[in-house]
Structure 1
């Protein structure tokens, strides 16, 4: 099977309520403020008529201002967000590096969470046990691996999540921005591991505002603006297109 991403006229909508109310408490507060006034919920058209094909060997950079649709696009490709219409075909094992806190059980230990997160990634318990010590060593959190996750600092949680998520590569690698994962020593290890995953992946999609990194890794660039693709071509041309769309003089 040839690894590929094929999208034809893909549209994706969000219910606006999903953005406005982050918790039950905030929802109740807003309802009290409105004092019974009815508020119309309008869907947000997050991706608009997206069509493209990405094949083996391609390294694709995704550009766009915050809210332009890059992260939504990656999560749609990963299968986390269902499309509203169009055609989505993704062939190959997908590994994504975003939402690193997903799958952690606060009351369980770090060691137990290695297993839980592995299951969420579609990996077997036997396999996760086989790489457990490697993950523990890479995360570098010492004896805390046997403490509940809720006792960890934010940095420790990210380091463990990063170690688990990158322990296994995939045919299609999805990366969303650079990950802040702790001290300089760990960041050096993290960068080396990411570059190794990039090297081994058949297809790479990298969303970033770091144009230097994009141009050093990617040959193709796709620019998003208000949920639409406004440029798809050479990475240098993509950077120029982004600058023009955002009124940036070069």
Structure 2
């Protein structure tokens, strides 16, 4: 007996779903926002006051590294929404230095923004995610969280921590139908990477077996897969979007 063919477009559609994208004003975050909107989702962006969300996205100013600010964010959300379908953590900063020159403040600031914020968001979002029919959490980590990176002890540690947090959350939240996955980009063309030297960007491009640097849209496409029904049996995974940097 042959199963009836199903239209794959219906699995990737996000109509009627609400997504919260933390760090949605940044290069990767804003690409994810636009991709989700194109798929039909309603999107709320949480980012620092003074930043700008992509057009048509609701913006809620929030310091995601501050527990009280995140708690206030979810108090605001729950006044108008009953549940949350998709949570994306795309906030991230760097303060690079070799270990013996890195200040304690530089270490703590990167851990607060990149890792502590993810805990605050998950902690606040779980009650709303549990009310969704099928919820998805996406944490944007980095290949440097897997391999380490010279001069980035704080950044690499924070991104490795996201992987551990995400895999633990996948175990704890799976019983509620909540999937948790991580995206590990390689070098992506954003304002953050454009501030790097040409030599650093060229080295990353040479590491890629595709001989190109990634674009924010490359990450957004994978985020759409993880947010949608196409990945309904995928959880606790790290999907690299690195052009093969780690296999080069």
Calculate the TM-score normalised by the size of structure 2. Answer: 0.30
Greater helix proportion = 2
Question: Which structure has the greater CA radius of gyration?
Answer: 1
Calculate the TM-score normalised by the size of structure 1. Answer: 0.30
Greater strand proportion = 1
